[in-house]
Structure formats: C-alpha cells, structure tokens
Chains A and B, each alone.
Chain A
Amino acid sequence: MDKRICFLIDDDEDDREIFSLALETVDSSFGCSTAKNGLEAIKQLQSSAIIPHIIFIDLNMPYMSGKECLIAIREMKQLADVPIIMYTTSSYRKDAEDTQALGASHFLVKPSSIGALTSVLSDIIQGEELPYFLDTAKA
C-alpha cells in the first residue's frame, strides 16, 4: 500500500516543520510533502504522478497568493477529487468565504498549540463530519 501524502504549501519554514511534526504524531502512515510557495507547488504537482490525499494551502505567500494557488490547483484535472484545505493565520471571514467559493473544502485557522493541531488533523484524516470554518481557538 502506497503511503498517503498530505501536501502543504506554506512559505513559513517553522509552520512547515510544525505541520510535519503534528501529522507524524497523528498517523505515521501519512507522508508529508511540502512546497514553500505556489509556483514551486504547481511545478511539483504537475511533474509528479503522486496524487496527494489532501492539499493544505497557506493564504499569505509571496509571488502567488493562496487564493491564486487554489484556483490554479482546482484547474488541474487529475486533482479534481482532492480536498483542498486553506491553512492560515487569518481568521478573516472574507478570506474564508472567498476560498469556499473557489472550491476549498475547509478553512483551517492555524492553531496555537500542537495539541490542537494534531486533534483537528486527526479529525480531518479520519473523514469526520466537520464545519467549513475550523478555528480551534474558538472551538
């Protein structure tokens, strides 16, 4: 059985590290693949035969914003069935609404603790019924 992959696009090195750590804790059968901006991510996704299980996109990134990146990935036919989750510090409702309209499955506000992050990642991976807007600080 192939290792299932979570693909994170985030320009923040710390966040990429924290995310990998949390994912490892939740389910070691998941592999974490990352890109540090949208351009790099699109290149990787186009050149690889591997279809990620879930894609996480940060909102505020240089060169290509999270929204632009979301649009570009949604246009890729082979990834049409892959859920995309916005992963951002922003709890700005407008951003959440915009990305939902653009085809995002969830809007996850970056939690302020590893524990909260692992918990919400676990729910997502297990396919729990979850609201679109996920903010662990308010849950």
Chain B
Amino acid sequence: MEGISKQNTTPHTGYETLFAALPSAVFVYDPDGRLTFFNPAAASLLGKISPVDEMFWDNLNFYDPYGKALSKGDIPAAIALREQRQVKDVEIIIGAAGGIRKYVICNARPVFDSNGSMAGVVETMQDITNREIEKEIRSLSEDKYKSLSELLEQRVNEHSNTLRESEERYHKMIEEVQDYAILMLDPDGYVLNWNLGAEKIKGYTEAEIIGKNFRIFYLNHDRENKLPEKLIQLAHETGRATHEGWRLRKDGTTFWGAVVITALHDDNGDIIGFSKVTRDLTERKLADDRMRNYALEIAFRNKQLEEYAYIASHDLQEPLRKIQIFSEMLEANADNEQSVRKNIEKINSAAKRMSSLIKDVLQYSQLSRADELFADVDLNTVIETIKDDFELLIEQKNAQIIHNTLPELKGIPIQLHQLLANLINNALKFTPEKALIKIHSREADAAELKQEYGLNTLRRYAVITVKDNGTGFEQRYGEQVFKMFKRLTDNSGTGIGLALCKKIVENHNGHIEVASEPGKGTEFTIFLPVN
C-alpha cells in the first residue's frame, strides 16, 4: 500500500490530503481509463483480496443490484469516460475472488482541463455492503418473523385447544367424581360450583346450591360456634384448613365429613376463593366408634372380671368358710342338742347370705351399658311400682314415701328401677320406724354441673334427691358407702346395693353423692341427664 501511495504522486497532490480524509473510495483515471490515483478508503475497499493497482479492475466482476453481470464498459467510470458525462448514484455490485461481494454507490464525473479537453474521470464509491446486507437480512427476517408468528399463532391455537380440551376433561373429571364433594367457594364462602360427588354426599342439586353459603352444611351448634367462619379464616391465614365432623345433608340427616379447604390465589397472591373437598367418612367413623366402644366394653369387662376375682376370693368365701366351720362344730358336738340347733342355724344363715350375695353379684354383673337398652322412662311410674313391691315393708315400718313430679328421661328401665328401689330399700332399712322418705326432683343449675363429676355443662340434668329420717352416718364415710362390699353396719346387707346404684348412675352418665348426719338421716343426690 505504501508503495502505491508513493507511486501516486500526481499533479493533484494538493487534494491528496483532502481525498485521504474522505470515507468514500476515490479513484482517478486518465483519459485512457488508466487508474492514476486512489485514496486509502479505495485501497481498503476490497481489502487484501484484490490489491489496488493498474490491473485492479481487470480482476473484478461487476453486477447490477439485481445480480445481473455487467460488462466492463457498463460500469459508471467507463460510461463517464466514453460519453464524457456525469454518472450519478449508480448502484453496482463488485465481485472479487474468494466470494467477496461489495455493494457500492458509484458517482463518476469527467474532469476537463482549462482547454476544455477531457483530462480524466474522478470516481467515488460508497460502500453500502453492510446496509444492503442488513436490508437483505431485514427482508429475510421479515418473512421469517411473519412465518414464525404464524407458526406461533398456530401453536398457540393448538395449545389453547389442547388446554381447552384438557380443561374440559378436567372439569368433567371433577364434575363426575362421585366419592368426593369438590366445590369452589368465593372468598366469603358462597358456593360457586358443584360436582356429582357433592350432590351425592350432600343431597343438593347444582341449581339448588350455587350461590348459597357453605354454612348450610354445618350443624346448628357448629354454626353457632362459627365453625365455618373459623375454617375459612384458617384457610385464609395459612392457606389450608382441615376438619372432621358431623355435617348436614339436605334431608337433615348427618354424615361424618373429612373436609379440606384450600385458599386459591391470583397472580398477585390475593385470595380469590377456596376449593373445598369433602369426603364422606361416616362408615369409617361409625367403625371407629364401634371399635372404641368395643375397647371400652373390653376394659369395662376386664375390670369387672377383676372385681369378680376379688369377690370369689373374698366375699363368696366368707359364708362358705362359715358353713364348713359350723358343720365341723356340729359334728364335734352332735350329742349336744342345743349346740346342734345353734350350729344348724348358723349354717342356714351363712347359706342364705351366700345365696343373696350370688344374686346381688349376678345383678351387678348384668349391668350393661348397651345403647340399645335405652328407652323413655317415666320415673313417676317407676316409684309407683317400687311402692307396690315394698308394700309389706312399708306397712311394717309405718313408712311414708312422698315425691313431687319426677322427670321422664332416656334410660335403661330396669336399671333405673333398681337404682330407686335400692335407695328406697336403704332408707327403709336404716329408719327404725315412722320412716318418711322424700323424693324430690328439680332441674340442675349450670353451676352445679361440676367437671369432676364428669357432667356435660351443655346438657340439661335433673337433680333427684332421696331423703330419709333414719339413723344416718358420719359424713366422712360418704365415699365408702358406694364401694363394693363396704358396709357401715353389721346389718344384713351384702354391701353391693349402693355400689350397684353408683354403677347404674355412671351407666347413665350421671353422678351420685350422699350427705348424712347421725341421728338425722341420709340424703342421696343423683344427677341424671334429661332430654
């Protein structure tokens, strides 16, 4: 290059610096078309592939912008030389070895000397290759983009079709699930949609339930305790709420529902509603309850067996042992008539005691808590029956039994009869004469329903008192009287009667206690649930 620029020390030297500074390639030809000058931009136009010299043009090919080959005479400089006119803004493509193509805009203009004769041609070429390539790419890209966006559109359509289908399938799936009630709630708990499972489990059709609040599925006391609101609140705060409990069907029957409420959020994280999935686990719940009752029953029976083992080892032994001893004494003193009579009497009395013990133990053992035994029992009728049973004893003791109106309640008839009969019998037994037995019933105050009695403060209870004017006992033995075989006197009792009473009251989910004072009398107080 350096060589070439040295070579080009032409008469135009004064413009050399100016030309050198131009970004456009500048070529100067003599009237014969020989290259006499070029500037650095011209030298770098085709780079090293085709060095610029006199032969420069010979090694190149020319094309018009549409790619059609041009002859050497068609290029702007040749035209300007031949026709001695200016050729303006002609776009041509110069091709060089190695696949190089340059897009250029040519301007060629003849130069005349002072005589007006042709002195040569000055040609400038502006390299627009990049622009053209960009243009080409742009146009290419436009097509591509166009097809791409078409493709995209197509894909999106396909996708949304698939989505719609999948959504439809999904909806169908949810709609047709029968084992779960699946529904959506708005943020306030109003039902937005409904599926077959929901209809099956809860009994409402879609038309009946849409727009109703889901509170409708809850039992009265759950609604009063704001359970539905609490669950919604929990799902709101933690995203999820689960609960198991009795729920209401349309027809008013109940089922044991396992519920999961899940909060649904929009893209901003705001809650737009809740999904609610409910399973009917009534069967399982009932089975669980049955199992629990069996377990309780087994525990109860085991305890009973233990008690019987104790009874067999102790209380039933006692009269038996006496029979053996008095028989032995009878044998040893067979000649003594008085002794024989006495021992036989003792044997008889022990045998009687044995018999009544066995009877009482049997009665105690038959105290079942089975639910199916519960029926409506009118305690007024029960008292009248007992009065008939004890008619003789009442007459003997010159006793009087008075009572106010007693409640009718759900209970095991035979047990409630035993309960009151035992208490009345007890009162008669410990009142030597002129017995006045007062039976009184009233409704319990909430304050009386103490936790330690195992009473439910939400239920209603009757308080029934059985009061006598008998011998009484010291209050500190109040607890002992309810224990099996505990007797406070050497009276003929078996020590089972009051233990029986306590068990009966417990079977009825109630409570029994006693207050007594020596010489004044005894008062039994019973709490029993009423409807």
Residues of A whose CB lies within 8 Å of any CB of B are 11-15, 18, 21, 36, 60, 62-63, 88-92, 110-115, 117
* Nearest B residue (CB) for A95: B314
Are B313 and A90 in contact, with the CB atoms below 8 A?
Answer: yes
- Which of B310, B329, B477, B480 interacts with A114 by CB under 8 Å? B329
Q: Which residues of A contact B314 (CB under 8 A)?
A: 60, 88-92
Q: A60-B314, A92-B310 are in contact. Are A112 and B488 (CB under 8 A)?
A: no
- B517 contacts chain A at the CB level, 8 A cutoff: no
Are B321 and A110 in contact, with the CB atoms below 8 A?
Answer: yes
Q: Which residues of A contact B490 (CB under 8 A)?
A: 11-13, 36, 62
Q: Which residues of A contact B438 (CB under 8 A)?
A: none
Using A14-B346, A62-B477, A63-B477 as known contacts, list a sample of 10 further A-B pairs with CB atoms less than 8 Å apart, ordered by residue number in A: A11-B487, A18-B322, A60-B485, A62-B489, A90-B310, A112-B321, A112-B324, A112-B325, A114-B325, A117-B325
Rounded to whole angstroms, the CA-CA distance of A18 and B325 in the bound complex is 8
Are A89 and B486 in contact, with the CB atoms below 8 A?
Answer: no
Nearest Cβ distance between residue A38 and chain B, in whole angstroms? 12
Instruction: Report how many residues on chain B are interfacial, defined by Cβ distance under 8 Å.
Output: 24
B455-477 near A? 1/0 per residue, CB < 8 Å:
00000000000000000000001
Are A113 and B328 in contact, with the CB atoms below 8 A?
Answer: yes
Q: Which residues of B contact A90 (CB under 8 A)?
A: 310, 313-314
Rounded to whole angstroms, the CA-CA distance of A11 and B490 in the bound complex is 7
- B315 contacts chain A at the CB level, 8 A cutoff: yes
The 5 closest A-B pairs by CB, nearest first: A112-B324, A62-B488, A90-B314, A112-B321, A89-B318
Q: Which of B300-353 contact A (CB under 8 A)?
A: 310, 313-315, 317-318, 320-322, 324-325, 328-329, 332, 346, 350
Q: A62-B486, A62-B488 are in contact. Are A89 and B324 (CB under 8 A)?
A: no
Are A115 and B328 in contact, with the CB atoms below 8 A?
Answer: yes
Q: Which residues of A contact B313 (CB under 8 A)?
A: 90-92
Instruction: Describe A's contact surface by its main secondary structure.
Output: loop
* Nearest A residue (CB) for B346: A14
* Nearest B residue (CB) for A94: B310
Nearest Cβ distance between residue B322 and chain A, in whole angstroms? 6
Nearest Cβ distance between residue A2 and chain B, in whole angstroms? 30
Are B318 and A114 in contact, with the CB atoms below 8 A?
Answer: no
Of the A-B pairs whose beta carbons lie under 8 Å apart in the complex, a sample of 12, sorted by A's number, is A13-B490, A21-B329, A60-B314, A62-B480, A62-B486, A89-B317, A90-B314, A91-B314, A92-B313, A112-B325, A114-B328, A115-B328
Q: Which residues of B contact A92 (CB under 8 A)?
A: 310, 313-314
Rounded to whole angstroms, the CA-CA distance of A12 and B485 in the bound complex is 13
Are A112 and B486 in contact, with the CB atoms below 8 A?
Answer: no
Q: Which residues of A contact B350 (CB under 8 A)?
A: 14
Q: Which residues of B contact A88 (CB under 8 A)?
A: 314
Q: Which residues of B contact A112 (CB under 8 A)?
A: 320-321, 324-325
Nearest Cβ distance between residue B472 and chain A, in whole angstroms? 14
Nearest Cβ distance between residue B221 and chain A, in whole angstroms? 46
Nearest Cβ distance between residue B371 and chain A, in whole angstroms? 34
Rounded to whole angstroms, the CA-CA distance of A21 and B346 in the bound complex is 15
Rounded to whole angstroms, the CA-CA distance of A72 and B350 in the bound complex is 31
Rounded to whole angstroms, the CA-CA distance of A63 and B481 in the bound complex is 9
Are A63 and B488 in contact, with the CB atoms below 8 A?
Answer: yes
Q: Which residues of A contact B328 (CB under 8 A)?
A: 113-115
Which of B313, B332, B477 has the most C-beta atoms of chain A within 10 angstroms of its own C-beta? B313
Are B321 and A62 in contact, with the CB atoms below 8 A?
Answer: no
